[in-house]
Amino acid sequence: MSNGHGPDPASAPLEPVERLIVVVLFEGVDLLDVTGPPEVFSLVPRETDDEAGYRVVLAARTLDPVTTSAGVRVLPDLTFAEAATRSIDTLLVPGAVELDSARRVHALTDPELVEQVRTLAARARRVASVCVGAHLLAAAGLLDGRRATTHWSTAEQLAAEHPAVEVDADPIFIRDGEVWTGAGISACLDLSLALVAEDFGEGVALRVARQLVMYLKRPSGQSQFSVPLEPVSATRRAEDLRHFVRRHLGGRLSLADIAAYAHVSERQLARIFKSELGTTPAAYIESARVELARGRLETTDATLERIASACGFGTADTLVRAFRRTLGITPTEYRLRFRTG
């Protein structure tokens, strides 16, 4: 109520709230993990009446330039110590990897950096990791008892080093309470769009996605799994079996056929697949066929019956059931979302 001496403060328009996003910056960090999310957040004011939107800052140990994995140098906006005095809306934690002597990818976790992440997380409303940044969250104890994802290449490492974390390498991002984890590389955009959707609604997130020329904001359940992108098997025999399966996906492909090709029993074949590829022969064949069908759904107008036949499913009903098991959606829904031609 006005006191007659000026406008009533209760009736004055509310000032837009600026959401502070702190991105953790350190030597060797993956460049896209750092630059991708801010591109998404920067488009929010263009697509909403909220002029404040987000304020993104990069925090590092010092204000010296940081060299990313791509060799590009980035300047921090403030130090970890300064960031720890702020009220943080979202703490965004990217990651870094190295190759071992066998050229296998290994996620890096520096103890001092882990402690900084733990400190900053206590100041944040929510925490999100990008790609292998999940390893830093796990090392800080922030994923214990939670379901989380990361880049498929380091999922086994995450599960082995942190048994208290329920690792699911398939989704492109996962939310468990106020802790979010994202999968590999470009999935940082999907995760960022999901954060925008939580703050400003699905409509704003979809308009931002269009500005980024993303076909559609992908749901969290969208699989990051891709058969051709699997790591090279530990043995030449298992690698040869993978190629044999892919060459014969369109025809009748039984376990007996694969076992005969490998000159082993079906029981021995199952042991090879389990130890080398982490799955059963039947599950691998179905996943490979789904992958083949995904490509045809994305790039052709072929009917489901034709795609099912060409990919070895036999019937459209079998194709639909496989898609539901593997991706959680139907082939028709997948085509509507990801058709590129």
Total length of the chain: 341
Q: Please give the angle made by the CA atoms of 198, 203 and 204, to the nearest 5 degrees.
A: 70
- pLDDT, tens only, 140-161: 999 999 999 999 889 999 999 9
Summarised one tens digit per residue, pLDDT across range 274-310 is 888 778 999 999 989 998 998 888 788 999 999 999 9
Tens digit of each residue's pLDDT (9 = 90 or more) over 90-108: 999 999 999 877 778 899 9
Lowest mean pLDDT among 2-16, 145-159, 161-175, 189-203: 2-16
DSSP string covering 268-314, please?
HHHHHHHHHHSS-HHHHHHHHHHHHHHHHHHH----HHHHHHHTT--
Angle at 324 between CA 165 and CA 320, to 5 degrees: 160
Model pTM?
0.65
Active site residue 188: no
- 12 — pLDDT class (breaks 50, 70, 90): very low
Between 44-53, 60-69, 117-126, the lowest mean confidence (pLDDT) is in 44-53
Q: Which position among 120, 131, 136, 329 bears the catalytic label?
A: 131
Using DSSP bridges, classify how beta strands 73-74 and 78-79 pair: parallel, antiparallel or unpaired: unpaired
**Residue given tokens 């039984």 in the structure block:** 254
How many other CB atoms are found less than 10 A from the CB of residue 317?
12
